[in-house]
Structure 1
Amino acid sequence: MIFKQYFTAWSIGLLFLSSLVHAKEPSSQAFRSFWHPMYHNQRLNYCTLKTNECGKKVADAYCQLMGYQAATKNLIAYHLNSTQFIDSPTTCKKETCHGFELINCAMSLSHKPPKPYHYTQKRFVYPRINHYRIDWCYEKNKACGAPVAHSFCQQIGYMRADSFKKESQIGLTQTLGSQARCSGNQCHGFQFIVCSR
């Protein structure tokens, strides 16, 4: 009887230690579904132009542009007539142009809450105002670049812009100052803006 109690206690202790050794930090994923994903105001092409890779590789690249780690799912959309390649400013304008119906993007999240000082900076990829990409200039051809980035950051509660990158030939933008819209290849905007508190 004593031997049985001793053996049971020993087995429970061994199981407990085993669970401690094999326990992993719980993790989860942040995800987003992009239905009819757009790139430069066109539907995203299913393949790349230069390397002719299709599907998952293009979806992964799109997710990384949107701030995620990789694509978990993608669905093809056939015969879109007009699509934009992710690796080239060239567009496909034929009946045989295929794109994406859906791209699901995901990234891993840690269950360790970040320290308050981790929130001093935030990167905004393809910053927008009223659903339009922000124009490179505050008003038409005036106060371009840094003044626009600083104004964008201040409007959303940050103190300043630490860095930003220009992107040319966006297709459709809106200025922060006069709210005027620009359409065509002469429109330039931001690829990203990093704001800080």
Structure 2
Amino acid sequence: MKAFLFDLDGVIVDSEWINVGSGVKAFRDFGINLTPAERKFIIGRHPVDYCKTFSKKYSFDFDKFRPLQRAYYLEMYQRAKLYPFARQLIRKLKKKGCLALVTTSPKKLVNIALKKFNLQGLFDVFVTFEDAQRRKPAPDVYLLAAKRLKVKPKDCVVFEDSIPGVAAAKKARMVCIAVTNTNPASKLNKADLIVKKLNDKRIWDYVDF
């Protein structure tokens, strides 16, 4: 394989709980209490996308919701941590090919994460919220990453944790390795390989293919 594409939240950084928590807190400010199923739905999705779905059921002003959610997110992000073995895997793969960070997070937050976790200079290209009109589960973000890296989709390995993320990778016809940080294996069964941690030796069976 020539290229390795990483999602950020839920794969590299333990921050999906922040994505969910900030949304939950912002909705509470509108008197809306999300159900457990609705909280799970937020995982792997940008506020623009999950709010579009929730607006069919709840009445709220997105233009007022978004600043609240963003403020809660940045406040909670101070407690975010790097997942075990994430940095080690990224550095090993850097020696084998090119790397892309593909995320629904905005560029500002990506820059904060790179600096906070000492990941600067490891990724060759970035695809963020601002780069694609259609986000995951559409394949656009991963296809754009491959284009920027100048590699074919079939030569890419994607590391994901979310249901829409896995769907996006497979629609892009890329190899997908899913890590069960935010979803059980049963929900990620479309991935080519499912692992509990990023030090799983089976990863190299796909990386070295």
TM-score category (smaller protein): under 0.3
Higher helix fraction: Structure 1 or Structure 2? Answer: 2
TM-score normalized with structure 2 length: 0.24
Larger Rg: 1
TM-score normalized with structure 1 length: 0.25
- Taking CA–CA contacts closer than 8 Å with sequence separation of 6 or more, which of the two structures ends up with the larger relative contact order? 2
